[in-house]
Amino acid sequence: MAGVKSRGIGDTHQQFRSLQAIVNHIRSQEMFLQVLDREDTIPDMAKRLSREAITGELKSNKRLFLDFFYNMIALSGETDRIQDVEFKYVVIGQDIMEVDRCLLWYDDLELQMPFEIGEKFGKAVLGDQIVNIVDTITDFYKKAEARFDRELDGNLERCSLLVLEEHYPQSAFHITVRLPAIILNDFPVSL
């Protein structure tokens, strides 16, 4: 099977593997910053300089992730690989929402996006005017489902919405939305 080539980066499987490597490097940098903050034996000046260097590289790596990600999903229609995005929201009350996780599914492989990027995507798809968060997420899903019903010729296996209501220890909703990743081209984010 010939791979789809794009901007000299390689086929989508190679791009997905590159995304995995970038995410692993981002996680190791974030863990290093956490360890650095807890370490008392390192002088303050050395901590500050290390933090500045790692923080700059971390931001650069997150931008690189976004570039690779957008490039990969832009070509998702040209390949037979499944590329979906899954948001996991936690809603407390009427006005407190957290994007718990954002996952990229590539066939049966999952990749948890860096938190900052996943949170931006999760909030971007809902827009600025959120009145009732659960209804806003449901309305967004219904519109996206209608779109993909047309674009995927009635095959909605890649679209799902799960809303669970929690009553104890406090009232909350846990909402999972899964859609083809191409939808994120409509909601660009940057760092």
- 190 three-state secondary structure: coil
Mind giving me the DSSP string for 93-114?
A: TTTEEEEEEEEEEETTEEEEPP
Q: What is the pLDDT of residue 3?
A: 42
**Mean pLDDT calculated for residue range 181-186:** 92
* pLDDT tens string 108-126: 999 999 999 999 999 998 8
Global pTM reads 0.84
* 2 pLDDT higher than 50: no
- Which of 184, 159, 176, 187 lies closest to 90, judged by CA? 176
Is residue 43 reached through a cis peptide bond, with omega within 30 degrees of 0 on the bond before it?
no
Q: How confident is the model at residue 147 (pLDDT cuts 50, 70, 90)?
A: very high
- pLDDT, position 8: 43
Residues 42-84: pLDDT tens digits?
Answer: 888 998 999 999 999 999 999 999 999 998 988 777 777 889 9
Please give the structure tokens belonging to residue 59.
């931001």
User: pLDDT confidence of 93, banded at 50, 70, 90?
Assistant: confident
pLDDT at 9: 45
The mean pLDDT of the chain is 88
Task: With cut-offs at 50, 70 and 90, classify the pLDDT of residue 10.
Answer: low
123-144 pLDDT, tens digit per residue, is 998 887 777 889 989 999 999 9
Residue 153: predicted pLDDT: 80
DSSP letter assigned to residue 171: -
